[in-house]
Amino acid sequence: MIKTLLAIIMLTTSIYAADLRLVWSDNSDNEAGFEVWRKVDDADWTLVGATNADVATWLDGYLPIGSTLSYRVLAWNQFGQSGYTNIISVGTYPPLAPSALGGEVVPSKPLSFIGPLEDNGVSIRTYRDELGRLIIERS
């Protein structure tokens, strides 16, 4: 049960963490389709997707974390292929860690009560719990 649950959580994170939508201009009227090429960091270009004719958008649902992804697209038909589009690059890096964290102890503010609580049968007890939070109990 636990392994199955972990697999579902990891799968959900991978699918929904982020997607990248590519959009380009379709400048020809005789293409059979488009090829989408991607390069991860300094690796070789790899064909990662394709579309039909007149479809000038593509969604990349697999974005490896901690990489620079570069993309380019070309059109093709039975006679050959076009040149590539311009290259776009996107980083998938987590944010930098915060720094310069500081802290100081500050005195608690005194509590004040108005009215004679004892006359009404009300008693107040204040104390700090194990986490240092102020607890006020009324009975």
How is the chain split into domains, by residue range? 18-91
Helix boundaries (H) for the chain: 2-16
Please say whether the beta carbons of 35 and 83 come within 8 A.
Answer: no
pTM over cut 0.95: no
Tens digit of each residue's pLDDT (9 = 90 or more) over 10-59: 333 333 358 899 999 999 999 999 999 999 999 999 999 999 999 999 99
More confident residue, 9 or 26: 26
76 has pLDDT over 80? yes
Give the residue carrying structure tokens 């939508």: 21
Distance CA 17, CA 103 (A): 33
- Which of 48, 54, 46, 39 has the alpha carbon at shortest distance from 88? 39
3 has pLDDT over 50? no
Position 54: which residue type?
Answer: D
State in words which class domain 18-91 has: mainly beta
2 has pLDDT over 50? no
Q: What angle do CA 96, 16, 8 make, to 5 degrees?
A: 110
Query: Which whole number is the average pLDDT over 91-103?
Result: 91
